[in-house]
Amino acid sequence: MRTKIFSLVILAIFAGHVVFGQTKSPNINFEKTAHDFGKIEEAKGAVSIEFKFTNTGGSPIIISNVKASCGCTTPDWTKDPVLPGKSGFVKATYDPKNRPGPFNKTITVTSNAENATVVLSIKGDVAARPRTIEDDYPQQMGDIRMRSNHLAFTNIKNNTVKTDSLPIVNTGTEPITITFEKVPAHITISSEPKILKPGQKGRIVATYDASKVTDWGFVMDRIALILNDKADNNNLLSVSATIEEDFTKMTPEQKANAPKAAFETINIELGTIAANEKKEMEFKFTNTGKSPLLIRKVKAACGCTAIAPSETEIAPGKTSSIKAIFDATGRNGKQSKTITVITNDPDNSTVTLRFSGEIQ
């Protein structure tokens, strides 16, 4: 009899231990883990859904992190511990602005529950809002709106003439006559039509003659728009181009006898730089070609770097250098800068030199 009673006691203790072991950990139980918003309208703004859960475990749930798969989804959640038997939520808000079309995003929930990681998902299809004048012509100068305030001709050979245009519209109630000032000799620019009626669309037409530019590489000009004979310092149109030398007409013999810029290194590691220190460096190179190497242009990526080529014409077989001084004044942390060198080497006319360091 004693043996039977002892066995029952042991069994009861063991059963209690199992039950306790099963219930002492928290368990996060979501009502659902996916939601379909269906068709939503961009014009109506953000949409939200709360994923509700219950703690079916035996100790409080603490959500440590909720992370969305993209910045367009903003999560929120119950910050306080959720006691056993109580409920909490994870909220997902999706912003459809400038995101027309289908979407499928995830939200990863991390907690101290037995099921420590739960992935929730949302999806839907965004109907694009009707486009406005402001959408199609985002830049404004007075009553004129433009697709952009920058007309980029990108890469252009030094003996080439290119023409491009920029759409514009008159959003005012009066006709506008457009003229231009501060126009450089290598640019011809006009408005078509010259007088824009209210609501009328037109374009600014510019012709870029690279043969008249006394510069190389990236060149930026700013032209003033005069509206109805009224000047405004804010009404500036940027016109840019990257001027490259045209080597396409060189004969094989000319290429064989061309100059060649061979740099010993194009990367310099400065290591640790003291605050306010000026660090000097030197990029050495040799003209391994058969004719004089001309340094067309040397330009640093920031004003903190002073640069100076030792000479601008390097004879065949001669070694020269480009020296630079990096001024760390007012800067801190990791620094990485570039220097662009443009030469008459037909195989590698543009060389990018790099240097980096850590400012303490």
In one-letter notation, the amino acid at residue 112 is N
Fold of the domain spanning 133-244: Immunoglobulin-like (2.60.40)
- Write down the pLDDT at residue 71: 80
CB 246 within 8 A of CB 279: no
What per-residue confidence (pLDDT) applies to 176? 97
Helix or strand run (H / E) with residue 14: helix 2-23
- Residue 238 and residue 179: Cα distance in Å, rounded? 15
List, for residues 179-194, the tens digit of each pLDDT value: 999 999 999 999 999 9
- Residue span(s) of the chain under CATH 2.60.40.10 come to 26-127, 133-244, 252-359
- What CA–CA distances, in Å, run from 135 to 86, 102, 147, 180? 48, 21, 9, 25
pLDDT of amino acid 3: 46
Q: Which residues of the chain have pLDDT under 70?
A: 1-23
What per-residue confidence (pLDDT) applies to 303? 77
The candidate with the shortest Cα–Cα distance to 190, out of 237, 232, 250, 139, is: 237
The verdict on domain 252-359 having CATH code 3.60.10.10 is no
Which fold, 26-127? Immunoglobulin-like (2.60.40)
- Stated pTM of the model: 0.69
* pLDDT (0 to 100) of residue 159: 95
pLDDT by residue (tens digit) across 112-141? 999 999 999 999 999 998 989 999 999 999
Give the pLDDT score at 18.
Answer: 40
Q: Which tokens hold the place of 156? A: 């252009």
